Structure 1
């Protein structure tokens, strides 16, 4: 479906940008709109926010762009789960010299970090939408829903920016003349804004999931109050606000709409463990299936290799060794493929992520938030407060994985157990491992051991990725991250 707009070239650049963005062809938009179709009207740019249908088109367009660019893209060379997994100790590059090697060798250079520009483009659209919705003269029946989603998205995008790049410019308006001159805000200030936006989203969003027309739906594709709460719990944990992290996670854990399910059912479409999943803009298999499986057979006959199925990434030995014997996550969330022996080479068995294993379209969606993380958040927050109940939350995750419950221990022992559980529970999901290593202050120690195994070296500056040179040239107040060529 194609939206066509007549634009007034005397309008502000921000509004023209939104109008231009809305010319995008929204293929199969029912993924977000639940079978309904927005009308293909021709409207003036000044009417972009005049009714719910058009506001929905703007906000839905943001979700659709998340599928094609930035940290959540369906391309393995941009998806944050695969790139961060390669960058740390989760994944291994199988083919020297391709995109995977850049991340695997910790060799990301200026101009190769596309998330910066992509996320700021998305933030510009979100800020423009917030302003347009708030100043709309039309009657918007679902104004709170659209605004709540926008505040959530702004917080979500900034969560990734601050964790990838450290201090970042805090652009909160759609005035590009201001945004292009912003200095980098301290991380604490960015987190403060993220928390404020998430609280705003909580106040505006309801308990039910809504579709693109603001109607209740069983699909968990658009943020509701629980989605905002889940990210707020995570952000409080990152900000070391242990009581609030515990309180927000408790809200999710006590919500009967969500429950832990068996490991072989966690990533199925509309699993009750899912808090939020990112729908695709057209029927397709889950991104991770294409990255790590793509129809690759369990036995490969030379000269065929995993690359013959366009699979270039496998699990690292470090992650494989982190699993305890009998862990059902290792059984259900990994798979093997063996390249048969030849007269000159022995057989080689590779391990691959298999959280998403169905070749059927829309059988699985990319899970952005799920309940098990909330148990691990609360376990860590409680451990940091020396609460004995911390081990109970940890054991909920362990018992679901078929492992024995751990006894209560001292704080250091318990935190180490939680860190290991996060490693084996959340691997290849949303950059968790990279962010966990940084926020707990152990990334340099861990990567000093990991880097030699990858035949590379690690330097502390690599904990933050480079800012694109073009942005540094355009904004005289923007300073680079150290260590990178400009």
Structure 2
């Protein structure tokens, strides 16, 4: 009888685990945070009884983030690409592309803004569920790893939500009754939760990278202690806490793992290898099961010469770098050679003249060339790399009036790109030089340019000029720096108000 009871109990746990896996994989069909309370209870009791199932819940979230097109060039929910079109990084080459045009003309509406809001909240819900279940569990050998990863994921999702949308709804619960009517709160409250989560993650995770079995690995597809520090440095910088931004960036820059330096800038001669999966510059990357979509969107083995076709475009080539970004790359004033990033991280193609009336003249355009491989696994989706940490520390130092330290960090990035050190000497000029360096170092990565324009207070001045260059009915007003929430999400929550201006 006792053996039969144990067998039934085991079967019950396996059934509960199956239900949770189904829940986590199907929450994409629900409205954000809209999961009834009874299912939460099943998850809390059954999903986190062993390390394998706990790791599986985290794997599922990371897999969705890697495959959902949020951070790479996939043309679905891809705000890295869309914010490039929205600002001054990218230009639209196809006047009939209904996905690109609303972003390129700064004319998005609640009906054309995409599903990023609801999709990221689904992952926040899953992270909340994991945090509650893992915290309550008493049987996990790698409890700290799974819990630290869940806190990091939640902070990452909230960070992007607040920087895309401004004021957002925040929650640390999976309770449907709590979440279903949450209002938007000021960004400062979101940052408080983001920083609290990251400090917890930093305390729980180890210096080493570990895999889904809790075993040390060289793969950087799961967060470690320094991944949490990298996002902390960014969060502190964005929220104006310069001393802590400097401290956390310094923690990453000086990090060691097993007695060796954990991260380092590759030398100038290897600048073409920065975005390879095995790069020592990578702090954290998502590992997709498909070819990196930045390669597909911007490169895709594109020929160096493209003919204008009967459809009125240059085939699948619909997006190029903006002329203003291309012109932002400097030359070495001594040797007159190009910035190495322009040489290796950009590629050009000649677009033939059209046979239409009026004729569209032949043109040469430049395209992002950071990701250049069509082989799965050669290049992952890099979200954090060491160059950003140098630029964070440089800006934090400059804003604290440590100008020599700021210039040293800035020049480290410039010199690696084959450029002379900065000529800036005044505090404001050094800060502006750092922002400009971020533009040419981090272009088309994770919406950095959009966020920098907003947090630096320069977005209106830049965009009022950019829309004149875009033409085609593009307009700008200051309210457009925060995106609208999709209509269905507004209707699902009576306390959720639309972003002002929409």
TM-score normalised by the chain length of structure 2: 0.86
1:335-371 deviation digits (Å, cap 9, x = unpaired):
0111235786643211100000122221111111000
The aligned counterpart of 1:329 is: 341
For residue 295 of structure 1, give the secondary structure of its aligned residue in structure 2. coil
For residue 321 of structure 1, give the secondary structure of its aligned residue in structure 2. helix
Of 384, 388, 407, the residue aligned with 1:369 is 384
- Whether 2:280 is the aligned partner of 1:272: answer yes
- Whether 2:298 is the aligned partner of 1:292: answer yes
For residue 364 of structure 2, give the secondary structure of its aligned residue in structure 1. strand
Of 363, 377, 381, the residue aligned with 1:348 is 363
Of 399, 406, 409, the residue aligned with 1:390 is 406
Query: Which deviates more, 104-113 or 201-210?
Result: 104-113
1:454 offset after TM fit, Å? 1.1
CA RMSD after TM alignment: 2.3
Query: Which deviates more, 295-304 or 223-232?
Result: 295-304
CA contact (8 A) 1:77 1:100 kept: no
Count of residue pairs brought into register by the alignment: 454
Structure 2, unmatched stretches of 5+, are 1-9, 27-41, 256-260, 332-337
Distance 1:443 1:7 in 2: 56
Of 421, 437, 442, the residue aligned with 2:437 is 421
TM-score normalised by the chain length of structure 1: 0.89
1:305 offset after TM fit, Å? 9.1
CA contact (8 A) 1:77 1:83 kept: no
Distance 2:77 2:467 in 1: 22
The aligned counterpart of 2:175 is: 175
1:69 offset after TM fit, Å? 2.6
CA contact (8 A) 2:69 2:75 kept: no
- Whether 2:271 is the aligned partner of 1:263: answer yes
1:4-33 deviation digits (Å, cap 9, x = unpaired):
x9999xx9xxx9984423567xxxxxxxxx
Distance 2:241 2:201 in 1: 19
Query: Which deviates more, 194-203 or 404-413?
Result: 404-413
1:270 offset after TM fit, Å? 1.7
1:244 offset after TM fit, Å? 0.5
1:70-111 deviation digits (Å, cap 9, x = unpaired):
623652242222111001000011111321112111111103
- Whether 2:477 is the aligned partner of 1:459: answer yes
For residue 91 of structure 2, give the secondary structure of its aligned residue in structure 1. strand
Distance 1:437 1:17 in 2: 44
CA contact (8 A) 1:70 1:115 kept: no
- Correspondence 1:184-223 to 2 at 5 A: 184-223=184-223
Distance 1:253 1:176 in 2: 41
CA contact (8 A) 2:307 2:314 kept: no
1:318 offset after TM fit, Å? 1.2
Structure 1, unmatched stretches of 5+, are 25-43
**Distance change (3 Å), C-alpha of 1:302 and 1:109:** closer
Of 16, 20, 23, the residue aligned with 1:21 is 23
The aligned counterpart of 1:476 is: 494
1:229-288 deviation digits (Å, cap 9, x = unpaired):
0000000000100001011111111121100013211101120000011101x2x32111
For residue 462 of structure 1, give the secondary structure of its aligned residue in structure 2. helix
The aligned counterpart of 2:4 is: none
**Distance change (3 Å), C-alpha of 1:51 and 1:106:** same
